[in-house]
Amino acid sequence: MAVSVDLDAVACYYRIHALGEPPTGPGRFAILRRCLPRFADLFARHDLHATFFVVGADLEEDAEGRSLLAELARAGHELANHTHTHRYDFARLPYAAMAEEIDRAHAVVGACAGAAPLGFRAPGYAINSDTLDLLRARGYRYDSSVFPSAAYYGAKALVMAAMRLAGRPSGSFLDSPRVLFAPRQPYRPAPTAPYRQGGDGLLELPIAVTPLARLHVIGTSLILAPPWLRRHMVATALRAPFFNLELHGIDLADAEADEIPPALIARQPDLRRPLAQKLAALDETLAAARAAGARFVTLREYSA
Ligand SMILES: [Zn+2]
């Protein structure tokens, strides 16, 4: 089992919800300065190393966040590439612009970690054959962007359509529905079809979804689901050979204490849950995995 955390800044959620200018006060750095240490404590409690997907530009802007991440890397956690500016239209960028997003983050994240990143996750989960081509050329071992969840895809499509109708289009990007038919377990993607098996070298490590219904088993769904459903989803995911659990930095936000702006709290139900409750959901999940015999690895270790 691998646990990863996408460290998307509060500004990313402003773009998804079309909320205009992101906060300039303490909320701006809340993910790295407030949420990240809570993840470090959580993982220490469960004696596991995780993979953090880091946005390059955030490291450049926040020396405090950078030193926290450097410390985590020294303690054995993995830092991986989550692009330089987290553009939701990443999969639509021309080749050179896509390369720049990867390369700038590669340099900054590598300098912070003291080792070149070997893994990548795209903003909004969308990749194309150019992405895989660029990663292969740079010696990456894995990509972990593929998210074949029908429930997530359908909910996202609905929200984006409603926002468009309201004249407030989301900054998010809806991927090709082909992703819904991607394998659920690790595979080597075909060079021209990232959502199909058939390549060599680079590994794709899809984010966990349940079989058949393809419900997404990620931080947000574990936090929002009633306990019986959460336990069921976790038990199902643990039956697969590999459980790739994706979390987000914002999953452990304490909305008021961290000064998350009310406009964003109003849009995201997870931000209205008390921190203690969210921590309990993740604590219980990691304890259940350990009790079921899961062996925790970083995505880099898995790919090796
Ligand atoms: Zn992200």
Residues, CB within 5 angstroms of ligand 1 (ion): 6, 8, 123
Structure-block tokens of residue 35: 């949420």
Note whether 245 and 2 are within 8 A (CB). yes
Instruction: Write the DSSP symbol of residue 115.
Output: S
* 113 CB burial (10 A radius; 0-12, 13-18, 19+): buried
User: Residue 123's closest CA among 160, 84, 158, 157?
Assistant: 84
Q: Could you report the per-residue pLDDT of 283-302, keeping only the tens digit for each?
A: 999 999 999 999 999 999 99
The per-residue pLDDT for 146 is 92
- At 294, list the tokens: 């899961």
Residue 122 Cα to ligand 1 middle (Å): 7
Cα 249 to averaged position of ligand 1 atoms, centre (Å): 9
Q: Measured in angstroms, how far is the CA atom of residue 200 from the centroid of ligand 1?
A: 26
A 10 A CB-CB count for 222 gives: 24
What residues contact 173, with CB distance under 8 A and at least 6 apart? Answer: 88, 89, 90, 91, 92, 124, 126
Q: What is the pTM of this model?
A: 0.95
Q: Mean pLDDT throughout 171-185? A: 83
31 has a pLDDT exceeding 90 = yes
pLDDT digits (tens, 9 = 90+) for 223-280: 999 999 999 999 999 999 999 999 999 999 999 999 999 999 999 999 999 999 999 9
Alpha carbon of 192 to ligand 1 centroid (Å): 24
Instruction: Please state the separation of Cα 252 from the chain's center in Å.
Output: 13
Q: Is the CB of residue 210 less than 8 Å from the CB of residue 149?
A: no
